[in-house]
């Protein structure tokens, strides 16, 4: 039964989100509302999904399904999140020429862009509450803020690659975590 619930949850997420970061609030809601994960565990799943190659939504589904119900749960959640994309892609491929020349489609995409940006900001706020403000104790994590600021600096100012920045952030987390423990 949990496998079918995972499939349906991620099927709904796949049909109602725009992919990538916009999926995170929906994944978080599903995981929390079913009691499958805590907000900290969801934040950890998102962090792992971001670091691994592949689409964020699929990685989140795979890890969340595995965490919730093992390998069968992983397969169920992954299939659920893939079905909408495959369905839309097949339909779009059938009507590609008509979509490309459609004024209605251009206007719809013009309206969707601000929604996606708003959802990304919502994800940033939600994840900041978990990662920087310590939801359990209401404390601000100066280590996380420092790591975030240094990561932003090396990405923007020194043009580091994302993998190098992730390694730096991991090392900073280990060192700063050891100092405060």
C-alpha separations of 73 from 8, 79, 101, 102, 142 in Å: 12, 10, 41, 40, 36
pLDDT digits (tens, 9 = 90+) for 119-165: 889 888 888 877 777 655 567 888 888 999 999 999 999 999 999 99
Instruction: For 43-92, write each residue's pLDDT tens digit.
Output: 999 989 988 888 999 999 999 999 999 999 999 999 999 999 899 888 87
Q: What is the C-alpha to C-alpha distance for residues 159 and 121, in angstroms, rounded to an integer? A: 23
Q: Residue 90, Cβ neighbours under 10 Å: how many? A: 9
10 Å Cβ neighbour count for 104? 8
pLDDT > 80? residue 95:
no
Of the given ranges (4-18, 75-89, 101-115), which has the lowest mean pLDDT?
A: 101-115
């Amino acid at each position: 039964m949990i496998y079918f619930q995972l499939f349906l949850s991620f099927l709904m997420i796949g049909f109602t989100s725009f992919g990538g970061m916009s999926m995170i609030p929906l994944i978080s809601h599903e995981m929390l509302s079913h009691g499958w994960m805590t907000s900290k565990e969801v934040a950890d799943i998102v962090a792992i999904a971001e670091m691994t190659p592949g689409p964020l939504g699929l990685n989140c589904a795979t890890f969340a399904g595995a965490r919730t119900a093992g390998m069968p749960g992983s397969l169920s959640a992954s299939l659920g999140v893939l079905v909408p994309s495959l369905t839309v892609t097949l339909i779009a491929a059938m009507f590609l020429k008509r979509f490309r020349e459609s004024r209605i489609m251009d206007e719809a995409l013009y309206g969707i862009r601000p929604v996606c940006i708003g959802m990304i900001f919502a994800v940033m706020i939600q994840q900041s509450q978990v990662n920087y403000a310590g939801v359990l104790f209401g404390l601000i994590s100066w280590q996380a803020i420092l790591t975030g600021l240094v990561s932003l600096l090396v990405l923007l100012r020194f043009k580091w690659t994302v993998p190098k920045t992730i390694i730096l952030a991991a090392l900073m987390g280990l060192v700063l975590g050891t100092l405060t423990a």
